[in-house]
Structure 1
């Protein structure tokens, strides 16, 4: 079954319903389906092996993903923020491709790779103009690859993650009810098109027949303005976006946000202070923490609105701590915590998070990462409490091994963030002659405060944790490096601590 069925069903059920609003232009579900079928013709004629998007979010992203699906060609959105050298290397891995977007840049860095290059405007226009008669269409059945995404490469070179039609449909059909959105429902999409969260937001909203409102380039003021102008009911943000929205509102930014009923977040660790403020700023909205990966076709665990409200209102430290959790596995997946030898660990004991389910691909162009029983090692470290709530403590690769003792960077960072002068913090491994690895920390000082003395931070960690967690190296920095999805780039912090 082809993911294009999602758009076909929506267009058949409500062809005149507004499906997309982008930069003032409105598209119905019928418009989008016609354009996707036109894109199919362009892709077929170009004889390419991939369809790539090098652009911000726009109607071209939706037309391209469904046009590629109909043609049986993998859709591969690319990170336009990458340096030229890195981007050229990725383009070479998908040649020949129909590349949509930054025509000048692709021509400049990859002119000899055999790509067909179209600007966003030219692609969208040609797709609308090239609609064949119904009896000439032979669309792909959807038995192969739908999407190829290059992983963010926060700890290593990007891998080509493969998502098949069956994986994506397994997620959508298992979590979204067809046609469940009211005609007034509107989802604000600000996640980049090359991230799985952006793709799953499009697929799920289309299947629900929700109006999609795109904000190609994020700013908190523009976000608040669109919420008011389009009466947004649903929104997805990454933690850094939510922090900026709350900060802007604290400084006087305005916008009527009463329409917001649901705010989902994910993509990185949410600071407790930020979610506390957001819950108070948006009292009518239900908050959901969504945890997932590219290789799992998006969400595998959710902390829902009731859990957020209960945690905020509770005096029980155990219940309040759930605000820092990822929630519980969704019904269509299984999650296990395993130790270094592959053994399943009991509640409360940290290890690596494994996940299994129809939506889980675990497949790369290079090879599959699934074990013999279909389990995918996420490389995320965490634990499950006795009530089934999943807690994340960082990437398994980020674990600091000091003299044979495994340490979670997350627990050290959480303690540092309790200091009134610390706005942000990162802990990671630094080389140690005596211990092999030791703890290093990079700290961002809060505005209006003086940087705390190193001994003050060491005493805080020693008191709250134990002496083995006390850092050997401390650096004070203006800001920590995050990617656009709010993921902390620890490899860059390690470079700073190495100097």
Structure 2
């Protein structure tokens, strides 16, 4: 193993956190030694059952300790983990499975019907191993994760192995095509993204992290790996709901979690309804997937009154976050003033140290505007789209620069301002005009307006 590997975090957990609680889910608690043993036993068991370096292993299910173990155990033996979105229909899952052609399918009980249909289908003869997360199910030759661990006869002291091209993860995104695209992400990308989150947000081994995001999304995966590298404790609930999240925060003294605007809105709504006075243990909140409104920031600052609130801008193809910005400090007021005066987008902060960002301008556009395509380059960018050469065109990656598909500009202080998607741009007099520019001008100059969009 010449390069880094995400499973190398296990050595740090064993050295620093062997006897400390590092994972909690319901009544189940694991210390560091138990978590490391579980991952290594699972990896060895999968290897004995025929999973080989370069194989793709598809996983579907709700958040659990076993799911987290799989995120490390599958890449540990040089295979590639491909989490499926649990919100998909079976037909959507089939599209993704046809793309990656897995050798193994791992699922929790809620998706037993998927496994049964795949077994009956001649289209998925490549799947040689079916494994269930949690309790065993009475379907064909399906074995449980626990059985795979216990049946391991070989050594669990093997070194982690990397897959060809260093790929450790295939994360699905529909992007602009509407069809699932498998974004192939390297171990190196996952490691430097984790280090960025540790550096910017400040994760450490004293943190207790609540999994509010699903482990099938890049935000949930990258934050999970960051906490694993930092040596913190994971609190897992199957899927987010405000009541369960608030209960977990209070019961386990959660110090950090990630959010999107809808999750934050649900937390605030529930806290008002049930008269939750505050969650003082929370010290760090990282928001993604859209900007938090002023109302949500103010509400979050009252409910989580000890928390630093950060916002991140990113994409799956860049292994999650490209830029970060602190939301609840004096700089926010400065940002609001700039937004009002300049009316040129939403500030999403500065790139993390490993990320290179520049603005690419349309050569056919003679305008002197600072705005253009947001491009990024570095080890954080994807290896490519799995099995889909037509999607990875020079339009998305050119000379090492990944086109995010977004438009924006960079101010004198190095902050990135996001305008919107390139797809919506309009040609007017030979120049590019973006719907977001028109909307912002309307918001500044019209006292009362209603904007309708399909």
Output the TM-score relative to the length of structure 2.
0.83
User: Is the deviation greater in 235-244 or in 155-164?
Assistant: 155-164
Query: Partner of 2:19: helix, strand, or coil?
Result: coil
- Alignment partners' CA distance in 2, 1:234 and 1:3: 21
Q: What's the offset of the Cα at 1:235?
A: 1.0
Task: Say whether 1:57 aligns with 2:77.
Answer: no
Per-residue CA shift, 1:128-179, capped at 9, x if unaligned?
A: 41455548736414662100111134553221111111221232345537xx
- Alignment partners' CA distance in 1, 2:434 and 2:265: 24
Aligned to 1:352: 373
Q: Is contact 2:56-2:79 (8 Å) kept? A: yes
Aligned to 1:270: 292
Give the one of 46, 50, 70 matched to 1:47: 50
Query: Partner of 1:75: helix, strand, or coil?
Result: strand
- Give the superposed CA RMSD: 3.3
- Alignment partners' CA distance in 2, 1:127 and 1:353: 45
Aligned to 1:119: 132
Q: What's the offset of the Cα at 1:263?
A: 0.7
Query: Partner of 2:98: helix, strand, or coil?
Result: helix
Aligned to 1:379: 405
Structure 1, unpaired ranges of 5+: 416-459, 475-492, 495-499
Q: What's the offset of the Cα at 1:188?
A: 0.9
Per-residue CA shift, 1:285-328, capped at 9, x if unaligned?
A: 101001221111222110025xx311455597128889942111
Structure 2, unpaired ranges of 5+: 137-143
Per-residue CA shift, 1:258-292, capped at 9, x if unaligned?
A: 01111110022333332233234333210100122
Q: Is contact 2:75-2:162 (8 Å) kept? A: no
Per-residue CA shift, 1:342-371, capped at 9, x if unaligned?
A: 99998x722211111222225212245674
The 1:139–1:217 alpha-carbon spacing in structure 2 relative to 1, beyond 3 Å, is closer
Give the one of 150, 153, 156 matched to 2:178: 156
Aligned to 2:72: 66
The 1:250–1:461 alpha-carbon spacing in structure 2 relative to 1, beyond 3 Å, is same
User: Is the deviation greater in 216-225 or in 228-237?
Assistant: 216-225
Aligned to 1:464: 446
Aligned to 1:481: none
Q: Is contact 2:45-2:149 (8 Å) kept? A: no
- Alignment partners' CA distance in 1, 2:323 and 2:196: 13
Task: Say whether 1:332 aligns with 2:348.
Answer: no
Aligned to 2:417: 391
Task: Say whether 1:289 aligns with 2:311.
Answer: yes
Q: What's the offset of the Cα at 1:246?
A: 1.7
Task: Say whether 1:16 aligns with 2:19.
Answer: yes
Give the one of 170, 183, 186 matched to 2:208: 186
Q: Is contact 2:365-2:432 (8 Å) kept? A: no
Task: Say whether 1:90 aligns with 2:96.
Answer: yes
For CA contacts below 8 A with separation 6 or more, give which structure has more relative contact order: 2
Give the one of 6, 27, 32 matched to 1:29: 32
The 1:27–1:255 alpha-carbon spacing in structure 2 relative to 1, beyond 3 Å, is farther
Q: Is contact 2:346-2:419 (8 Å) kept? A: no
Q: Is contact 2:44-2:154 (8 Å) kept? A: no
Q: Is contact 2:22-2:31 (8 Å) kept? A: yes
- Alignment partners' CA distance in 1, 2:69 and 2:253: 25
- Alignment partners' CA distance in 2, 1:197 and 1:344: 38
Structure 2 counterparts to residues 86-235 of structure 1, below 5 A: 86-101=92-107, 102-109=111-118, 111-112=120-121, 113-114=124-125, 115=127, 116-121=129-134, 122=136, 123-132=144-153, 134=155, 137=158, 139-141=160-162, 144-153=166-175, 155-173=177-195, 176=198, 184-235=206-257
Query: Partner of 2:296: helix, strand, or coil?
Result: helix
The 1:324–1:35 alpha-carbon spacing in structure 2 relative to 1, beyond 3 Å, is same
- Alignment partners' CA distance in 2, 1:338 and 1:285: 36
The 1:82–1:8 alpha-carbon spacing in structure 2 relative to 1, beyond 3 Å, is same
- Alignment partners' CA distance in 2, 1:70 and 1:258: 37
Q: What's the offset of the Cα at 1:372?
A: 5.3
Q: What's the offset of the Cα at 1:110?
A: 5.8
